[in-house]
Structure 1
Amino acid sequence: MADTHRSRYRRYEGGDPLAPPVDIAEALDAIGEDVMAGYSPERAMQEFLRRGGDDRAGLDDLARQVAERRRELLQRHNLDGTLNQVKELLDTAVLEERKQLARDAMMDDADRAFREMRMDNLPDSPAAAVTELADYDWQSSEARAAYEQIKDLLGRELLDQRFAGMKQALENATDEDRAAINEMLTDLNDLLEKHARGEDTQQDFDDFMAKHGEFFPENPRNVDELIDAMAQRAAAAQRMLNSMTPEQRQELMQLSAQAFGSPALMDQLNRLDGNLQALRPGEDWSGSERFGGDEGLGLGDGTGVLQDLADLDQLSDQLSQSYGGARLDDVDLDKLARQLGDQAAVDARRLQELEQALRRSGAMERGFDGELRLTPKAMRQLGKALLRDVAQRMSGRQGQRELRQAGAAGDLSGASRPWAFGDTEPWDIPRTITNAVLREAGEQGPVVEVRGRPRPSLETSGPRVRLSVEDIEVQETEARTQAAVALCVDTSFSMAMDGRWVPMKRTALALHTLIGTRFRGDQLELIGFGRHAETMEIERLTALDARWAKGTNLHHALLLANRHFRKHPTAQPVLLIVTDGEPTSHLEPDGEVFFSYPPHPLTIALAVRELDNARRLGAQTTFFRLGEDPGLARFIDSMARRVDGSVIAPEADDLGAAVVGSYLGSRGPRGRGGPGSYDEWFGGRGFWVG
């Protein structure tokens, strides 16, 4: 068992081990912005990973480096390296032989003339000349050495094509070294052919590695790993041949027979290539590249470059993440470090960690349909950011200031009262301390304590103060009526076509966040209405793709809104309708959708009937009209007058502030008398939006 104790350690490639954990805050902000811009959460995450962060390279940057590296390899190199080396050695051999012939006075003139004639009439093709001189009796020792170098070079290059590093390892090789190579090739081919027949065992592989393991620095653990490594390089060698011109290929094939002065090596290598191609037909054996540089490559180095190009192509595919089920874990960090350097691998590893952190953070999850969605936690974070933007718009335009809600039971009245068991209102600290001081005036000591529960404090020079339960006063709040809010948002074709899709979603999320964090007692129903209407969770509405089906079914939306109001009979109904078109569809008694443009009178009548039902339920109604269509304006105005509602016509960017302002107006003391105009919501007072 030759590899029982073989170590498989390698250099640490994770970058700075003391670097702080990956920060996903920037990523979540960017993903949230893209989601609001209409991207799905999956695509938004992919886009962030692609472009990277402020101080982090993204996939696009790494892919650009891969493309530049590939282009640089092709533009720097050509495939004439081995042929040029052969030509140089051949020219040296011929020149040294001519010199020797001219110096040798003892040589027979006829013999000299014959030899000089052979030198003069050598073929222009280096391969043909080398073959022609195979049986030549060299007179010059320098010429003979140069010619022998040609055969040695060819043998080492051909082996280096299949076994990386063999060219250097066999420099100045002896006959015993060449015999060992021949024996290894014979045993290797026997093992591969036995494996192809299904007759090999792990012991066969272990015996082979024990005998020839020095030729395989990759330390394969079994015959399949051995075949994988060798087939990849052999396929690269074939692609190199495919990339040569026909003349180059012909020269090389003719020269190969002279490797080590015998065709035996080439016979074994051809046998090896045939075995590998049969065992791994899926490798790229037919591809080619176009080289255009000045730096010649030998056969071994050229094969290495072809392998590098194949690695770069794989990295390009992995970094593109364009195939089904793509994950950043697919990126081969070892190859990336080898091709682009350690920093590229560190950047990719950080992106992998970021993707994993995003998936583990609870910010995104997969639904039953397999689609990635923002979780409620992420929606709350995004909603808070949108709500801050709404507050700035509401306060900045009218010089208002942001106020913070205090108390959970209602709005502060300015009065206070003694605390009673069960009270949750905030303490009136000045009144509480004043009560204690007045009651305990004259007592000294460095302890501030609630009676029976002393707590240490800083030394003071004044009298000590003891707080007693009877000293505590709480701030009184006005009772606040709960509201049942129905936000009906138009999801028809025109909303997407006219650029109102994103503001609609931002508005819904801002209102949802406000109610969920500041008015938890209120009940919000989100209703989207296009060709038909449906209630939606905020996560679904936020991730909703633009809909291109025609139809504005206000009738169906009002049916759902009234059902929501009836489910909460003790709450104040608040109806908010965002639309950019007149009703063009309604529900038939059998549940089918009827569509007509221009609007059919029955469609209008059914919408008006449900609006009247909302008024009878006590709903405060506000229409938010988007667009400048005069017909829509007349229709909305008449609908609002019918139910004593109001109309606001904001710009798309101001829609969120308009809806939130209207809702807050309906929640405050003024709102109890009914919603006011757009100017009233933004005039003179701050709202509880902090």
Structure 2
Amino acid sequence: MARGSRYQRYEGGDPLAPPVDLAEALDAIGEDVMAGYSPERAMREYLRRGDADRRGLDDLARRIAERRRDLLDRHDLDGTLREVQELLEKAVLAERGQLARDVEMDDGDRALREMQLDNLPPSPAAAVSELSSYEWSSSEARETFEQIKDLLGRELLEQRFAGMKQALEGATEEDRAAIAAMLADLNELLEKHARGEDTPEDFADFMAEHGDFFPEGPRDVDELIDALAQRAAAAQRMMNSMTPEQRAELMELSQQAFGSPALMDQLSRLDGNLQGLRPGEDWAGSEQFGDGEGLGLGDGTGVLQDIAELDALAEQLQQSYNGARLDDVDLDALARQLGDEAAVDARTLAEIERALRSSGYLQRGSDGQLRLSPKAMRQLGRALLRDAAERLSGRQGARELQAGGGSADATGGTREWAFGDAEPWDLPRTVLNAVRREVASGGRAPGARGVRLEIADVEVVESEQRTQAAVALLVDTSFSMAMDGRWVPMKRTALALHQLISTRFRGDRLELIGFGRLAETLAIEELTGLDAIWQKGTNLHHGLLLAQRHFRRHPGMQPVLLVVTDGEPTAHLETSGDVWFEYPPHPVTLARTVSELDGATRMGAQTTFFRLGEDPGLARFLDALAKRAGGRVIAPELDDLGAAVVGSYLGDRASRSPYGGSGSGGAGETFGRWGGGWGRGGWVG
């Protein structure tokens, strides 16, 4: 069968852009989760911030607010009244000039007219009403006054029908009659629809006769009602926004529009029909506008529609309501208000949100709360391990031992056979080497059968000795770690080491142990989501007890002890199970801690302490512990903690022998910030 093609509307953006990459989003979300945010909140925060390639919701919302403020600053809603006032002053000025120039006019008539003009009420509406029966001497004044009525009529219709204001400029009596007929037919159609008596033919007949008044081209009566109701509601909100005096003046002036009270009756009837058919529109709201460029009644309706759309977008971008999703954002409206680029950014964020929810990175637990899934933990671990590897890229020396024997594992590579090698041959490579050699030497002898092997042709399967290790990573979870900004680096370190062991050294066994006032073993998911708790106590004694239990469970493995801490032990576990806490550290606490470290050392544990902070008391204490255990102390910067722990683990795997108490890498040696390679003293591999 021929493969079909599917086409869809182009939605903007770079058509050659790669699919949405969740790696950056997941890294940012994981960072916030490790800082104590829930996954749901962390995802929301990422969507609000955006990333290096796209704007987030906060930036889009800021631009929406700026556009709304710009509209409010540039326009005010008494623009129509101001225009009426200007036309009125122009008409009166022209009339006064004509009265002064007309020498043939009766003086009494002139005085009466001048007195009438002098005593016009200050209200433009009242002045227009009083002058409606005035007999103008000036033709210019009469034409200007007629412009007021024409303006009001066009403004009133512009509220309800887009484009009507310009279309009716200079309208004839026939044009006005056509408008009156359209309004009458429209009201009849809406009233039939409200009763459920209309038919598609009724709508078709109406559009056939009056379709020129609706350039937006509604396809059915519901689309027609939606368009009219939005503009009518916006017009009502505009009226609500005006002062009572402005509103009264405008309503009084409106009565005189086209000089036809029937027009006002039809418009009032239309408003009533629309409110009944679309009660969900905002008919009672209002907007506040500042001083600025005058805005007509009809134009004000259009601006209010913009403001209503901006308000809806602001709520959608805020995502503060229950069940909020970025799919709720009206991308068409966003493109209208901020341009296509903003809509593309919002669409991409929505795709990221959908992908995060559907890709398995987030899953709901039995309590209904979102959590990072094992898949997400692996992705985060890979990213953190890559970061550690980059920092380790300058390290010199062997990473793993190569040795023969049945316990070695294939690396996937091959190498030339050497005397003493016991690895199996790689037969395809060996035969290929023989064929190449024969071809290069001039070909095979006539009649020869098979391939003649020489010892130089032989390649063996490369393998590496992987001594299994029982690794105990003890991380300080006392409150000082969170208070001093070490909480997230500690978690990143644990996650990177967990990823390395679970993917590269699957034969090793890792135990994560957190020690605060008490110590406890933690799954990587528990440690990643662990919140800081205000508890006094650094119970390294209890942590070492749990580490020895882990070593005893794996008696055939090499014990590796890694301790990350920022404070001296201030708590220990009593034989009763109670916790003893005292600060400064009590001699009994120190003695119990040292005793358990001695127990781990007797089990052959390779020990490394990672000292965080500059506490001189902690430095002296850990130096003494490292010297006693034949281990070492590393004092990395926070950014290098993950690389330090991973590098130490790899170094221990390479040597599988305790470190001495002197020389490079011995007890008490500390490392500053490494930069491109290792710091003072080098690195022991």
Q: TM-score range by the shorter chain?
A: 0.7 to 0.9
| Residue 579 (structure 1) shift | 1.7
Distance 2:149 2:354 in 1: 55
| Residue 494 (structure 1) shift | 0.8
Partner deviation per Cα, 1:459-509 (whole Å, 9 max, x = no partner):
xxxxxx876999533267564320011101011101111222233223223
Distance 2:398 2:466 in 1: 20
Instruction: Indicate conservation of the 8 Å contact 1:552/1:582, yes or no.
Output: yes
Instruction: Indicate conservation of the 8 Å contact 1:31/1:44, yes or no.
Output: yes
Indicate which of 71, 74, 90 corresponds to 2:72.
74
| Residue 540 (structure 1) shift | 4.5
User: Which position in structure 1 is the counterpart of 2:341?
Assistant: 343
| Residue 177 (structure 1) shift | 1.8
5+ residue gaps, structure 1, are: 1-8, 195-199, 453-464
Partner deviation per Cα, 1:291-326 (whole Å, 9 max, x = no partner):
221x21110111211221222233233334455554
Cα distance change on mapping 1:22 and 1:138 into 2, 3 Å: same
Indicate which of 416, 419, 428 corresponds to 2:418.
416
Amino acid in the other structure paired with 2:383: L
Cα distance change on mapping 1:10 and 1:645 into 2, 3 Å: closer
| Residue 382 (structure 1) shift | 1.0
Cα distance change on mapping 1:569 and 1:107 into 2, 3 Å: same
Distance 2:682 2:48 in 1: 46
| Residue 131 (structure 1) shift | 0.8
1:647-666 correspondence runs (5 A): 647-666=633-652
Distance 1:37 1:678 in 2: 38
User: Which position in structure 2 is the counterpart of 1:541?
Assistant: 527
User: Which position in structure 2 is the counterpart of 1:292?
Assistant: 291
Instruction: Indicate conservation of the 8 Å contact 1:391/1:657, yes or no.
Output: yes
Cα distance change on mapping 1:208 and 1:112 into 2, 3 Å: farther
Instruction: Indicate conservation of the 8 Å contact 1:403/1:686, yes or no.
Output: no
User: Which position in structure 2 is the counterpart of 1:625?
Assistant: 611
1:365 aligns with 2:365: no
Cα distance change on mapping 1:351 and 1:273 into 2, 3 Å: same
| Residue 378 (structure 1) shift | 1.8
Identical pairs, percent? 63
| Residue 521 (structure 1) shift | 1.7
Indicate which of 479, 500, 518 corresponds to 1:493.
479
| Residue 580 (structure 1) shift | 2.1
Higher mean C-alpha displacement, 235-244 vs 483-492: 235-244
User: Which position in structure 1 is the counterpart of 2:674?
Assistant: none
Amino acid in the other structure paired with 2:495: L
User: Which position in structure 2 is the counterpart of 1:85?
Assistant: 83
Instruction: Indicate conservation of the 8 Å contact 1:496/1:548, yes or no.
Output: no
Indicate which of 558, 561, 585 corresponds to 1:572.
558
User: Which position in structure 1 is the counterpart of 2:4?
Assistant: none
| Residue 676 (structure 1) shift | 6.1
Cα distance change on mapping 1:230 and 1:631 into 2, 3 Å: same
Amino acid in the other structure paired with 2:539: N
Cα distance change on mapping 1:634 and 1:138 into 2, 3 Å: closer
SS in 1 for 2:507: coil
TM-score normalised to structure 1 length: 0.77
Distance 2:330 2:237 in 1: 22
User: Which position in structure 1 is the counterpart of 2:188?
Assistant: 187
Partner deviation per Cα, 1:372-425 (whole Å, 9 max, x = no partner):
537144224312322224404x63xxxx368688796399999736998xx679
Cα distance change on mapping 1:585 and 1:236 into 2, 3 Å: farther
Cα distance change on mapping 1:381 and 1:655 into 2, 3 Å: closer
1:508 aligns with 2:494: yes
User: Which position in structure 1 is the counterpart of 2:384?
Assistant: 383
Distance 1:589 1:648 in 2: 32
1:3-42 correspondence runs (5 A): 12-24=10-22, 27=25
SS in 2 for 1:663: helix
| Residue 330 (structure 1) shift | 2.7
Amino acid in the other structure paired with 1:62: L
Higher mean C-alpha displacement, 377-386 vs 112-121: 112-121
Indicate which of 192, 201, 204 corresponds to 2:196.
201
Amino acid in the other structure paired with 2:363: R
Instruction: Indicate conservation of the 8 Å contact 2:94/2:140, yes or no.
Output: yes
1:575-594 correspondence runs (5 A): 575-585=561-571
Amino acid in the other structure paired with 2:248: Q
| Residue 250 (structure 1) shift | 3.1
User: Which position in structure 2 is the counterpart of 1:302?
Assistant: 300
| Residue 280 (structure 1) shift | 3.3
User: Which position in structure 2 is the counterpart of 1:131?
Assistant: 129
Amino acid in the other structure paired with 1:135: S
Distance 1:288 1:472 in 2: 87
Instruction: Indicate conservation of the 8 Å contact 1:239/1:287, yes or no.
Output: yes
Distance 1:624 1:19 in 2: 44
Structural RMSD (CA): 4.7
| Residue 444 (structure 1) shift | 0.8
Distance 2:557 2:197 in 1: 77
1:444-455 correspondence runs (5 A): 444=443
1:515-530 correspondence runs (5 A): 515-530=501-516
Distance 2:576 2:168 in 1: 87
Cα distance change on mapping 1:611 and 1:176 into 2, 3 Å: same
Distance 2:453 2:168 in 1: 93
Instruction: Indicate conservation of the 8 Å contact 2:469/2:557, yes or no.
Output: yes
SS in 2 for 1:416: coil
Instruction: Indicate conservation of the 8 Å contact 1:31/1:45, yes or no.
Output: yes
Amino acid in the other structure paired with 1:366: Q
Cα distance change on mapping 1:84 and 1:402 into 2, 3 Å: farther
Instruction: Indicate conservation of the 8 Å contact 1:584/1:603, yes or no.
Output: yes
Cα distance change on mapping 1:466 and 1:341 into 2, 3 Å: farther
| Residue 547 (structure 1) shift | 3.8
User: Which position in structure 2 is the counterpart of 1:280?
Assistant: 279
Cα distance change on mapping 1:89 and 1:636 into 2, 3 Å: closer
Partner deviation per Cα, 1:328-382 (whole Å, 9 max, x = no partner):
32322111221222333233334434444555666x3234253353714422431
| Residue 621 (structure 1) shift | 3.1
1:601-616 correspondence runs (5 A): 611=597, 614-615=600-601
User: Which position in structure 2 is the counterpart of 1:177?
Assistant: 178
Cα distance change on mapping 1:56 and 1:281 into 2, 3 Å: closer
Distance 1:96 1:114 in 2: 17
SS in 1 for 2:513: strand
Cα distance change on mapping 1:13 and 1:437 into 2, 3 Å: closer
1:260 aligns with 2:295: no
Distance 1:425 1:633 in 2: 52
SS in 1 for 2:559: strand
User: Which position in structure 1 is the counterpart of 2:460?
Assistant: 474
Cα distance change on mapping 1:233 and 1:607 into 2, 3 Å: farther
Higher mean C-alpha displacement, 127-136 vs 165-174: 165-174
5+ residue gaps, structure 2, are: 1-6, 667-677
Cα distance change on mapping 1:179 and 1:503 into 2, 3 Å: closer
